[in-house]
Amino acid sequence: MNEYIMQLLIVLLGLIVLVYGWRLFWLFIAIAGFLAGAEITHVLLANQPQWVILLCGFVAGLFGALLSILIERLAFVLAGFYAGSFLILLLSHSLGFMGKDILLFFIGGVIGAVFSGILMNWAIILLSSLVGAGAIVGQLELDPTYRTIVFVVLVMIGTFMQARSMEHS
């Protein structure tokens, strides 16, 4: 798959999660699972073709989506795990901290899972806003300062939009 198409796909998935993460919970889990699965596959299997990375991401996302339909409470925890894993890997790579990816993947996952399990609705809103913003910003080639500003603004917009959506339901 063309690198440009892959970047566009990730930005589109990031926008969906940023705006609709809480309302379309199962889709948030699927997208977060896809992003986390693709990211860890990219790290562990760096020399593999793009389709292998996409397939691993798809399997992780499908697993999460099916689980969210069957066992909602556990799905909240899984969503937190996926989101936390993706976010800590994204942050560590942005800061140039490499080498402990598996450990960071699980630490971020556990933190996200605990956070999500305790605060459910607000955790999903915040985590989906963070994942959506992270997916979008991760595809932009910006100076780190501007990248941080865009990330924070997107998180605020996503959190506000989803919180308003939660109030009206």
Per-residue pLDDT of the chain (169 residues), as tens digits, is 578 888 898 899 999 999 988 888 778 888 888 888 888 887 787 788 888 888 888 888 888 777 777 777 777 788 889 889 988 888 888 887 767 788 888 999 999 898 887 877 888 899 899 999 999 999 998 998 999 999 999 999 999 999 998 877 7
Contact 19, 128 (CB under 8 A): no
pLDDT for 1: 57
- How far are the Cα atoms of 6, 17, 85, 131 from residue 66, in angstroms, in the given order? 24, 17, 19, 20
pLDDT for 79: 83
Contact 133, 154 (CB under 8 A): yes
The single-letter DSSP state of residue 99 is S
Is residue 23 classed as helix, strand or coil in its secondary structure? coil
Distance, CA of 138 to CA of 151 (rounded, Å): 9
Domain ranges, residue 151 = 3-167
Please state the pTM of the whole predicted model: 0.77
The total number of structural domains that make up the chain: 1
